[in-house]
């Protein structure tokens, strides 16, 4: 293991055991996370990064709702899309091949792997990759990171798939490999 890889692993978030806590629900808190990952309290942007990181350390998603959960209380907050963005990427050599390490807007670094895979979801009418994180949370890939990763992607095409309207289509996919597994960055059905 080289020093860069060790440094990235040490930057992993130190997760509190939020899932094991079972506090009473105490209502809504006027905290809002916008689609760019900025945190607001009562309409004012929270400018202190250590405070945002503290809140994020006890953030959990259950169903469609987001909560700040401590051992003694649970409060719901509002999130426009997802609470985090992936703002940086770094490729490193690993035992199972190339490893893609992704960094959130709060500085947490996560290995793209089976434990933290990508999933495609709709955002602003387009299919976008999201990184699945911990406690039901996820991070959307920032457009710049997405375009950087597309340069490393492999193109695949599957013949003669049929969509729901019984029209023949070709499924086109762009994928990357990380930690010995393949992850889809984009896919599109093209009628034939």
Residue 78 has pLDDT above 60, yes or no: yes
Residue 115 has pLDDT above 50, yes or no: yes
User: What φ, ψ does residue 52 adopt, rounded to 5°?
Assistant: -60, -45
Q: What is the three-class DSSP state of 131?
A: strand
Grade residue 83 by pLDDT with cuts at 50, 70 and 90: very high
Position 13 scores a pLDDT of 56
pLDDT band of residue 100 (cuts 50, 70, 90) is: very high
- Nearest-angstrom CA–CA distance, 188 and 137: 26
**Cα(43)–Cα(30) distance, integer angstroms:** 8
| pLDDT at residue number 9 | 47
3-class SS of residue 114: coil
Q: Is the pLDDT of residue 192 over 80?
A: no
pLDDT tens string 126-182: 999 999 999 999 999 999 999 999 998 999 888 765 555 567 888 889 999 999 999
Q: Give the integer Cα–Cα distance in Å for 112 and 150.
A: 15
Q: What is the reported pTM?
A: 0.85
Is a pLDDT exceeding 80 seen at residue 91? yes
pLDDT per position as a tens digit, 2-34: 435 544 544 555 667 888 889 999 899 999 999
CA nearest 134: which of 115, 121, 107, 119? 115
Q: pLDDT category, 190, cuts 50, 70, 90? A: confident
Instruction: Give the pLDDT score at 160.
Output: 63
Domains parsed from the chain with CATH numbers: 13-79 (3.10.540.10), 84-191 (2.30.270.10)
Instruction: Please report which helix (H) or strand (E) contains residue 156, including its range.
Output: strand 154-162
- Distance from C-alpha of 123 to C-alpha of 73, rounded to nearest angstrom: 32
Note the pLDDT tens digit of each residue in 48-65.
998 899 899 999 999 999
- Across-strand partners of 99? 92
| Number of Cβ within a 10 Å radius of residue 27 | 8
Closest CA to 192 of 156, 157, 167, 175: 167
């Amino acid at each position: 293991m080289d020093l860069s890889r060790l440094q990235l692993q040490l930057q992993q978030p130190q997760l509190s055991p939020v899932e094991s806590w079972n506090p009473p629900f105490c209502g809504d808190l006027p905290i809002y996370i916008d689609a760019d990952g900025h945190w607001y309290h009562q309409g004012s942007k929270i400018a202190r990064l250590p405070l945002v990181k503290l809140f994020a350390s006890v953030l959990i998603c259950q169903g469609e709702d987001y909560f700040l959960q401590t051992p003694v209380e649970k409060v719901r907050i509002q999130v426009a899309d997802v609470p985090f963005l992936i703002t940086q990427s770094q490729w490193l050599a690993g035992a199972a091949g190339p490893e893609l390490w992704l960094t959130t807007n709060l500085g947490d670094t996560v290995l793209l792997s089976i434990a933290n895979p990508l999933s495609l979801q709709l955002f602003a009418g387009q299919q976008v990759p999201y990184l699945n994180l911990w406690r039901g949370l996820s991070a959307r890939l920032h457009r710049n990171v997405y375009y950087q990763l597309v340069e490393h992607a492999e193109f695949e095409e599957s013949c003669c798939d049929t969509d729901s309207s019984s029209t023949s289509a070709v499924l086109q996919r762009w994928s990357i490999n990380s930690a010995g597994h393949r992850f889809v960055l984009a896919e599109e059905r093209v009628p034939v």
